[in-house]
Structure 1
Amino acid sequence: MRRVLVTGAASGLGAALTAAFRARGDEVLATDRSGADLTLDVTSEADWAAAVAEVERRWDGLDVLVHNAGVAGGGRLDVAEIEEWQRVLDVNLLGMARGMWAFTPLLKRQRGGQVVAVASLAGLVHPAGMASYNAAKAGVVAFTETIGHELAGYGVRAMAVCPSYFRTNLVASMSGRDEAVGAIVARLVEESPVTADDVAAAVLDGLDRGAELVLPDEFARAAYRLKLEDRSAYDQQMRAQAAKLERLT
């Protein structure tokens, strides 16, 4: 039985992860801004401190910390406004930073644990029209690797999860001036054959294997493989996609 905290657990992938862990017999503290076991706004340092206090009260330790809370974002470079960048970075990247600031002393003290960060294929592969989201999720991937290195001496492991588009309600959190890009993202999410349950199953499998990077679906694996093995073809594909965006109004 593992003791698990999941952020953004009220819906979507967070709810699927919570159900998957509990089906394994794990105890889960499901957190979200509302509709969960514990209120946790990842942009609030006070909420993170309260989460640590609740974990210590309830379990006196934590086996798995899952950074899942996030918002969608994007938009072309000359369309998306700086306020949109700030929102995406504040939730998706700095939300995780606040969580690690709060929980690292506990992880060090207990000399063990697992950190799981739900990033995105956008953290590894960077299509046009998604600059803020790409930057935030690439930061999550880099941050997760740093955690794994920095806390290895304390027995703490870190794993980044990088799915491509999958069916979830995350797109409902997407807002901003570039409505044309938002419509494309919504369509890709709606048409994806991958579900939140599929991604949750891949996360638990990755934990079982001790993986450091999980690409849950074949599209994500193929896209990242293309970037690693044929950078010229990857660049051509990304620039062709960028050219299509230029034709949008």
Structure 2
Amino acid sequence: MSTLSSKTKRVFITGGASGLGRALAFHYAHAGCQVCIADVSDARGEETRQELQRISPSTEMLYRHADVTHEEDLQIIADELNQRWGGLDVLINNAGVAQAGAIEDVLLSDWEWILNINLLGVVRGCKVFTPIFKRQGHGHIVNIASMAGLLDVPRMASYNVSKAAVVALSGTLEQELMDAGIHVSVVCPSFFQTNLEETMRTTDPSLKKMMGKLLSSGKLSAEQVAEKIVLGVEKHESYILPHIAGERLWLAKRYLPQRLYSKLFQRSVSRMKPRKN
């Protein structure tokens, strides 16, 4: 792991009790940062906090229960960290869920569910912590999106849209907040080894099984993805794309004629189609 800058000392991570959020917390704890994680799972959260404390016994590690669909949960944490730590250096909006299904099958309630967490959960985090960053004159917002937000994965419209909106939000805030000394990064990983399928909603059970297989077969672990994110944050990268193959496909989408890109994309995602019995 790279040496962190002197300004990276206080870190807050939503969805920090498992998966990528947990891996990020470990990276920052190893660097001697004060880390506060938030999650809806208190058992996992406290277990992770204890592990973080063992990594850096002399540094304060915190767990706080927070549901990103409730602005007041995040506001309470922001107020506490501002008083307890005197501010914050890095905000990581990581909490997220997945949903899959054909457009005609997915309920509007499922659209509302995923957008409330994946998009508005990020919006709430940015809204609540930006005033702290503005007052202190610096800070870094890290929004976890997905390559699904840059590409067009079939039968995952609600997930794609939620992540594409996070990409747009991040770019907007980068322009809006740069004069205040605030950096914004959006992270777009491809499949990697995490537990996203645990909370996944789908209209087709085979899609959930497929997602679990793809996640478990990812070439990078959550720890490796976290390491790339930490390095990207240190470099103030606007787009952090941990997977080379995903980045190449995104570049192909941007620069190739649509017909050629579509053929390339269809070949790359053909393995995602569930097999018929």
Q: TM-score range by the shorter chain?
A: over 0.9
Match of 2:262 in 1: 235
Q: 2:183 aligns with which of 132, 141, 157?
A: 157
Match of 2:14 in 1: 7
Match of 1:89 in 2: 115
Q: What is the Cα deviation at residue 180 of structure 1?
A: 2.7
Q: 1:207 aligns with which of 226, 229, 233?
A: 233
- Aligned runs of 1:163-202 on 2, under 5 Å? 163-202=189-228
Partner secondary structure for residue 99 of structure 2: coil
Ranges in structure 1 where 5+ consecutive residues have no aligned partner: none
Whether 2:26 is the aligned partner of 1:22: answer no
Contact 2:14–2:94 (CA<8 Å) still a contact in 1?
A: yes
Considering only aligned residues, what root-mean-square deviation do their CA atoms show, in Å? 2.0
One-letter code of the match for 2:134?
K
Does 176-185 or 166-175 show the bigger shift?
Answer: 176-185
How far apart are the structure 2 equivalents of 1:5 and 1:30? 6
How far apart are the structure 1 equivalents of 2:244 and 2:183? 25
Q: Cα deviation per residue 1:58-85 (whole Å; 9 max; x = unaligned)?
A: 2121100000000111211112211111
One-letter code of the match for 2:20?
L
Whether 2:47 is the aligned partner of 1:40: answer no
Ranges in structure 2 where 5+ consecutive residues have no aligned partner: 1-7, 46-62
Aligned length: 249
Does 111-120 or 48-57 show the bigger shift?
Answer: 48-57
Q: What is the Cα deviation at residue 103 of structure 1?
A: 1.3
How far apart are the structure 2 equivalents of 1:156 and 1:184? 39
How far apart are the structure 1 equivalents of 2:222 and 2:148? 17
Partner secondary structure for residue 114 of structure 1: strand
Q: What is the Cα deviation at residue 127 of structure 1?
A: 1.2
Match of 1:57 in 2: 83
Whether 2:164 is the aligned partner of 1:138: answer yes
Q: What is the Cα deviation at residue 238 of structure 1?
A: 4.1
Contact 1:6–1:66 (CA<8 Å) still a contact in 2?
A: yes
Contact 1:49–1:102 (CA<8 Å) still a contact in 2?
A: yes
How far apart are the structure 2 equivalents of 1:101 and 1:29? 18
Q: What is the Cα deviation at residue 56 of structure 1?
A: 1.2
- Aligned runs of 1:57-136 on 2, under 5 Å? 57-136=83-162
How far apart are the structure 2 equivalents of 1:225 and 1:239? 15
Match of 2:60 in 1: none
How far apart are the structure 2 equivalents of 1:109 and 1:140? 24
Identity %: 35
How far apart are the structure 1 equivalents of 2:98 and 2:152? 15
How far apart are the structure 2 equivalents of 1:81 and 1:237? 31
How far apart are the structure 1 equivalents of 2:260 and 2:187? 24
Q: What is the Cα deviation at residue 152 of structure 1?
A: 0.8
One-letter code of the match for 1:28?
V
How far apart are the structure 1 equivalents of 2:207 and 2:189? 19
Does 117-126 or 53-62 show the bigger shift?
Answer: 53-62
How far apart are the structure 1 equivalents of 2:160 and 2:233? 25
Contact 1:65–1:114 (CA<8 Å) still a contact in 2?
A: yes
